Amino acid sequence: MVSWTEFQSAAPAIADEGRRLLYRVGEGAALLATVRDDAPPRIHPIKVGIVNEGLYAFLLDSPKRRDLELDGRFALHAHQDPAAPSEFTMRGHARMVESGDIRGPVAAEWYFAVDDAYRLFDFSIESALLGTRPSADSWPPTYGSWKAPPSAPGR
């Protein structure tokens, strides 16, 4: 698994379009799927941000945060525009960031003021899929995908 910057270097076309789709409605809007061994997957709307080298989210205490703390596996999907329904999704592993050296700079660029109730999560990317459709009438989508090399260590 790799950071957003490493993903951007390895698959620039997919990463550039993925970034555009995440920020298409302004602030980084996405749907987060989390899992736990003892429960079915859950889907949560969240705000994500590409800051410095990483893909991050600040989360309050909630089922999604507890899922990430217990398991870490995630899938993230950018919201779709019905008029031009291109899609971007990625999978990987999230980890809570405890370093103030990372948290401070990310919080300084965040969409809203964060306090100590928010935990920062760094999303490492295992794979990404981009399906492009210039209009709702365009079918089938054109797909591109990327997968981290097996030797890429988890962050």
| CATH number of the domain where residue 11 is located | 2.30.110.10
Q: Is the pTM of this model over 0.85?
A: yes
Question: What is the model's pLDDT at position 36?
Answer: 82
Q: Is residue 153 part of a domain?
A: no
Distance CA 105, CA 62 (A): 24
Question: What is the model's pLDDT at position 154?
Answer: 55
Q: Is residue 95 part of a domain?
A: yes
Residue ranges of the chain whose pLDDT lies below 50: none
CA distances from 54 to 83, 102, 133 (A): 30, 10, 27
Give the domain extent around 88: 4-147
Question: What is the model's pLDDT at position 65?
Answer: 95
